[in-house]
Chain A
Amino acid sequence: MTRYIIVRILQALPVILAVITATFFLVRMAPGGPFDSEKAVMPEVKAALEARYKLDQPILAQYFSYLSDLREGDFGPSFKYPGRSVNELIAAGMPITAELGLYALIFAVLLGGVTGVIASLRPNSWVDHIPMTLAMIGICVPSFLLGPSLVLLFGVHLDWFPVSGWGDIPGDKVLPSITLGAAYAAYVSRLSRAGMLEVLSQDYIRTARAKGLAEWRVITRHALRGGLLPLVAFMGPAFAGLLSGSFVVETIFQVPGLGRFYVQAAFNRDYTMILGTTIFLSTLIVIFNLLSDVLAAWMNPRIRSDLLDHD
């Protein structure tokens, strides 16, 4: 198992280096620079700014200088926010995005898991059709439509939840988490239904039932573990997706997370911020994929015994 994890980490390093290199050169190729603005900046001012951020050096020199700083974990200063380092901006936004992502994931797993399992118990009945139809709608409705709709209903008309903010007014975390988690809840619902249906037709379930076990014990003791396996494999990439894809929800609800910085950085050509957030998020995606694979391997007895044998 340890060797499996080490090999996976070693495989990830070139991926991250490729991401850094590709991002570094791609953002430099985009037209316009960080100091362009609608009101023309004096050439002397622009030259001074470029010199300050080493943009007057040859691009390869800039690249190696960046890599050298990166070895010490320094993403450099932000161009858009003078006086703030990229590390500081990520540190400010990331916990909030992670919290939002976590709540969205919990919502998705609870709602999706429960409806999926219930649907699988009575396939092709109304208990199955209604949640699955809702799930399909959930997958199709984009967050920029769902978010404002929830706000209008629960925030403006019913006055149950605040319309924006994060941690300022009680209840302001509810609507953003639901909006972000809704599409994932739909996926989870369909995945867990499919997983459960497959497991429920296995011989060992029939055996369990034949032994006279109560149905709920068959489900909770025997079926759930196997039936939710696809869900575990899905959760790693899903959480990574929630972290990197929260921009729309953060904008709708004024959530001060990383997503807003990330997208704004691209518009502003804030080179260091684009690189910093891309490297940070891609590393997270790699880690979550790795964790998810390890967890899935551990939960699957056949793979686990294979890996343990190798150790």
Chain B
Amino acid sequence: MLTLQKIPRSIFALLFILLASCSVQEGNVDSGNRLGILHYGNGSEPQGLDPHVVTGVPENHLVRALFEGLAVKNPYTLEPEPGVAERWEFSDDKRIVNFFINPRARWSNGDPVQASDYVWSWRRALHPEMGNPYSYMLFPVKNAEAFAKGQISDFGKVGVKALDERTLEVTLNEPTPYFIQLMDHYSTFAVHPPTIMKFGASTDRYTKWTREENIVGNGPFVLTEWKLNRRIVVEKSSTYWDRNKVSLNGVVFYPTENSVTEERMFRVGQLHYTASVPLDKIPIYREMENTPYVQAPYLGTYYYLLNINKKPLDDIRVRKALSLSIDRDKLASTVLQGTAVPAYSITPPNTLGYDPPKLFGYDPEKAKQLMTEAGFPNGKNWPGIEIIYNTSESHRKIAVAIQQMWASTLNIQVTLSNQEWKVYLDSVDQMDFDIARRGWIGDYVDPNNFLDLFISSGGNNSTGYADGIYDDLVLRKATKASSRELRYQIFHRAETMLMQAMPIIPIYTYTSKHLINPSVKGLPSNLMDSLNLKYVWLDNLKKEER
């Protein structure tokens, strides 16, 4: 008979069996180093793998493992280097570029990659029915924008032609210095036409061609397993033209949307690499010897949008006073724990050699003086304004700090309002705010990607700022500049105008933050936080060295 006294012993016996059965086995990192498999925290479950449908960082990593662009970014220099195209040539007026397809470039089913695949794919990427959010990446191509907006329906008028199987001729509207960089953006990638057509119409978003049993790509890896919300496994492609350079035998991507869990997975050796690091863990990792924490400048700016159509922000003196009374150094070192660089302009510093103007700093006295001139001496007559931000602890902390800085320097009342993500997006879109937090991550390394946000008709402007001279500088004068130096001077002028008008308050430049196991090599930090798996290899270090 089971008596009360016997129960604890039997429970312990059961527990012992249970624990013995799940005693710790070889972790992912150990087995990965042995087998050449990288275990990669990828942030979240991707929306999909169709290069002409998806947007987002996790999708970018996956799509660029499975597909390759005409040119790819070198992860060390970010300069373009040959991808599917073995070389390219510009015409003298820089309006025509010919891409010469590598004869060894193959789809994963063995078909050769041809110039006509690009013509077919770009028609797909630009077609209005496709609803590709990144179709604008191809807008430097002649008539591409008109085709994407349904103004012309004849794709033959768009500036892309297959001269022969291996030569792709692209005609540009204007000389576009960053055009080759765009060839590494997934929205400009070719897809395999027969595979797409096998599962539906060319512009159908809703087909099964990206499933592991169907997908055909041309990248260094092929998809072998896709378990929703669990993992995506890719292995080295046997048809990739540069396969000898690929060291990894495979990569397992994990949808690690919870950064705290991700950090724990890293700690117990389940991951080689994390997509992010929880802010409160950073000081602990920083103090470690041989720390796996890696932080680097990132091509993105965190800023506040000011609605300059509303009082009192329609007064430039008020906008300047608000900006001058933010102590960005203090914010970066305290609230942001040294993970951000103070920003005084929209374009991040050293964007491929471009350095933005710095017109102001922290100047509380000048801020007070401007507020007095604007009719709000020591906060008197201040009508009150509101900062909106999407619900997030870090946005809240920043807003609280800025609220306090404004209260102590200018003696003004500012209320904070956190909104659920889509509500916040709707408020910004409708310009239903006084001040709204915003972040912008560059799609390519060029000041144009930041400065064209604030052209009068810009969909991301959301401030009410409109200046014909600014538009002319960014849209026309810069594109016609004969040299990079001249072009940067024009951008500098435009950005100076922008920061003098102050429709935004730049706060900080982002940094990328990851935990990377020391056995991972060939994964350098760069401004785009760009991953090129072709370069990555695993050093089979002894456990104690890790």
A residues contacting B by CB (< 8 A) are 30-33, 35-42, 44-46, 48-49, 52, 77, 80-84, 89, 92-93, 118, 127, 148, 151-152, 155-156, 159-166, 168-171, 174, 216, 251-254, 256-257, 260-261, 267-269
Q: Quick check: B47 and A159 within 8 Å, CB to CB?
A: no
If A42-B135, A44-B128, A256-B229 touch, whether A162 touches B268 (CB-CB below 8 Å) is: yes
With beta carbons under 8 angstroms apart, the residue of B18, B208, B230, B438 that contacts A168 is B230
Q: Quick check: A45 and B133 within 8 Å, CB to CB?
A: yes
If A38-B439, A48-B128, A80-B47 touch, whether A254 touches B261 (CB-CB below 8 Å) is: yes
Bound: A83/B215 CA distance, A: 12
Q: Quick check: A82 and B460 within 8 Å, CB to CB?
A: no
If A83-B208, A254-B255 touch, whether A40 touches B459 (CB-CB below 8 Å) is: yes
Give 9 closest A-B pairs by Cβ, nearest first: A171-B22, A32-B422, A40-B459, A256-B229, A49-B131, A256-B230, A31-B426, A32-B426, A48-B131
- Chain B positions 24 through 40: 1 when the CB is less than 8 Å from some CB of chain A, otherwise 0: 11000000000000000
5 CB contacts below 8 A, A to B, read: A39-B55, A44-B128, A83-B210, A156-B268, A163-B264
How near does chain A come to B266, taking the closest CB pair, in angstroms?
10
- Chain B positions 480 through 521: 1 when the CB is less than 8 Å from some CB of chain A, otherwise 0: 000000000000000000000000000000000000000000
Interface size on B, residues (CB 8 A): 64
With beta carbons under 8 angstroms apart, the residue of B22, B227, B270, B459 that contacts A170 is B22
- Chain B positions 174 through 218: 1 when the CB is less than 8 Å from some CB of chain A, otherwise 0: 000000000000000000000000000000011111110000000
Besides the contacts A81-B48, A155-B264, what 15 more A-B pairs have beta carbons closer than 8 Å? Answer: A32-B426, A37-B133, A39-B55, A42-B133, A42-B149, A44-B150, A45-B128, A52-B206, A82-B48, A92-B228, A163-B270, A164-B270, A165-B270, A257-B229, A269-B422
If A39-B133, A52-B131 touch, whether A170 touches B25 (CB-CB below 8 Å) is: yes
Q: Quick check: A32 and B48 within 8 Å, CB to CB?
A: no
- Chain B positions 105 through 144: 1 when the CB is less than 8 Å from some CB of chain A, otherwise 0: 0000000000000000000000011111101100000000
Least CB separation from B264: chain A residue: A163
**Residues of chain B from 267 to 321 with CB closer than 8 A to chain A in the complex:** 267-268, 270
With beta carbons under 8 angstroms apart, the residue of B1, B25, B131 that contacts A216 is B1
Say yes or no: is B265 at the interface (Cβ < 8 Å to chain A). yes
Least CB separation from A79: chain B residue: B47
Q: Quick check: A52 and B422 within 8 Å, CB to CB?
A: no
Bound: A164/B47 CA distance, A: 22
Q: Quick check: A38 and B425 within 8 Å, CB to CB?
A: yes
How near does chain A come to B255, taking the closest CB pair, in angstroms?
7
How near does chain A come to B443, taking the closest CB pair, in angstroms?
8
Q: Quick check: A164 and B210 within 8 Å, CB to CB?
A: no
If A156-B264, A254-B261 touch, whether A169 touches B25 (CB-CB below 8 Å) is: yes
Bound: A48/B128 CA distance, A: 6
How near does chain A come to B187, taking the closest CB pair, in angstroms?
12
Q: Quick check: B128 and A36 within 8 Å, CB to CB?
A: no
Q: Quick check: A37 and B267 within 8 Å, CB to CB?
A: no
Q: Quick check: B205 and A40 within 8 Å, CB to CB?
A: no
Bound: A1/B130 CA distance, A: 55
How near does chain A come to B228, taking the closest CB pair, in angstroms?
5
Q: Quick check: A83 and B261 within 8 Å, CB to CB?
A: no
Bound: A160/B24 CA distance, A: 6
B residues contacting A by CB (< 8 A) are 1, 4, 18-19, 21-25, 45, 47-48, 50, 53-55, 128-133, 135-136, 148-150, 205-211, 227-231, 254-258, 260-261, 264-265, 267-268, 270, 420-423, 425-427, 429, 438-439, 458-460
Write out the residue numbers on chain A whose beta carbons fall within 8 Å of the beta carbon of B260: 148
Q: Quick check: A42 and B22 within 8 Å, CB to CB?
A: no
Least CB separation from A38: chain B residue: B425
Q: Quick check: B256 and A37 within 8 Å, CB to CB?
A: no
| Majority SS at the chain A contact face | loop
Bound: A151/B264 CA distance, A: 9
With beta carbons under 8 angstroms apart, the residue of A52, A253, A269 that contacts B261 is A253
Q: Quick check: B228 and A82 within 8 Å, CB to CB?
A: no
Bound: A82/B422 CA distance, A: 19
If A32-B422, A36-B426, A41-B133 touch, whether A82 touches B459 (CB-CB below 8 Å) is: no
Bound: A44/B205 CA distance, A: 16
Bound: A79/B202 CA distance, A: 19
Write out the residue numbers on chain A whose beta carbons fall within 8 Å of the beta carbon of B255: 254, 256
Bound: A32/B19 CA distance, A: 49
Bound: A163/B21 CA distance, A: 16
If A82-B48, A251-B257 touch, whether A163 touches B265 (CB-CB below 8 Å) is: yes
Q: Quick check: B460 and A267 within 8 Å, CB to CB?
A: no
Q: Quick check: B50 and A93 within 8 Å, CB to CB?
A: no
How near does chain B come to A75, taking the closest CB pair, in angstroms?
14
Bound: A187/B131 CA distance, A: 50
How near does chain A come to B457, taking the closest CB pair, in angstroms?
11
Q: Quick check: B53 and A82 within 8 Å, CB to CB?
A: yes
Write out the residue numbers on chain A whose beta carbons fall within 8 Å of the beta carbon of B132: 45
Q: Quick check: A42 and B420 within 8 Å, CB to CB?
A: no
Write out the residue numbers on chain B whose beta carbons fall within 8 Å of the beta carbon of A152: 264
Give the one of A46, A48, A168, A269 with max B CB within 10 A: A48
How near does chain B come to A162, taking the closest CB pair, in angstroms?
7
With beta carbons under 8 angstroms apart, the residue of B47, B229, B460 that contacts A39 is B460
How near does chain B come to A129, taking the closest CB pair, in angstroms?
16
Q: Quick check: A89 and B228 within 8 Å, CB to CB?
A: yes
Bound: A30/B423 CA distance, A: 8
Bound: A49/B129 CA distance, A: 8
How near does chain A come to B123, taking the closest CB pair, in angstroms?
15
Bound: A152/B1 CA distance, A: 38
Give the one of A44, A83, A166, A257 with max B CB within 10 A: A83
Q: Quick check: A251 and B422 within 8 Å, CB to CB?
A: no
Write out the residue numbers on chain A whose beta carbons fall within 8 Å of the beta carbon of B458: 40
Q: Quick check: A162 and B425 within 8 Å, CB to CB?
A: no
With beta carbons under 8 angstroms apart, the residue of B207, B264, B425, B438 that contacts A83 is B207
Least CB separation from B424: chain A residue: A32
Bound: A92/B206 CA distance, A: 18
With beta carbons under 8 angstroms apart, the residue of A82, A118, A254, A269 that contacts B4 is A118
Write out the residue numbers on chain B whose beta carbons fall within 8 Å of the beta carbon of A174: 18, 22
How near does chain B come to A185, taking the closest CB pair, in angstroms?
15
Write out the residue numbers on chain A whose beta carbons fall within 8 Å of the beta carbon of B19: 160
Write out the residue numbers on chain A whose beta carbons fall within 8 Å of the beta carbon of B55: 37, 39
Write out the residue numbers on chain A whose beta carbons fall within 8 Å of the beta carbon of B231: 168
With beta carbons under 8 angstroms apart, the residue of A32, A44, A45, A256 that contacts B227 is A256
Q: Quick check: A83 and B227 within 8 Å, CB to CB?
A: no
Bound: A127/B5 CA distance, A: 12
Bound: A33/B50 CA distance, A: 22
Write out the residue numbers on chain B whose beta carbons fall within 8 Å of the beta carbon of A257: 229
Bound: A170/B425 CA distance, A: 43
Bound: A164/B266 CA distance, A: 11
Write out the residue numbers on chain B whose beta carbons fall within 8 Å of the beta carbon of A42: 133, 135-136, 148-149, 459
Q: Quick check: B425 and A37 within 8 Å, CB to CB?
A: yes
If A36-B422, A92-B228, A256-B229 touch, whether A82 touches B50 (CB-CB below 8 Å) is: yes
Q: Quick check: A31 and B205 within 8 Å, CB to CB?
A: no
With beta carbons under 8 angstroms apart, the residue of B22, B208, B423 that contacts A32 is B423
Least CB separation from B438: chain A residue: A38
Q: Quick check: B229 and A93 within 8 Å, CB to CB?
A: yes
Q: Quick check: B24 and A159 within 8 Å, CB to CB?
A: yes
How near does chain A come to B280, taking the closest CB pair, in angstroms?
13
Write out the residue numbers on chain B whose beta carbons fall within 8 Å of the beta carbon of A49: 131
Write out the residue numbers on chain B whose beta carbons fall within 8 Å of the beta carbon of A36: 422, 425-426, 429
Bound: A77/B47 CA distance, A: 13
How near does chain A come to B126, taking the closest CB pair, in angstroms?
10
Write out the residue numbers on chain B whose beta carbons fall within 8 Å of the beta carbon of A268: 422
Bound: A151/B270 CA distance, A: 14
How near does chain B come to A282, taking the closest CB pair, in angstroms?
22
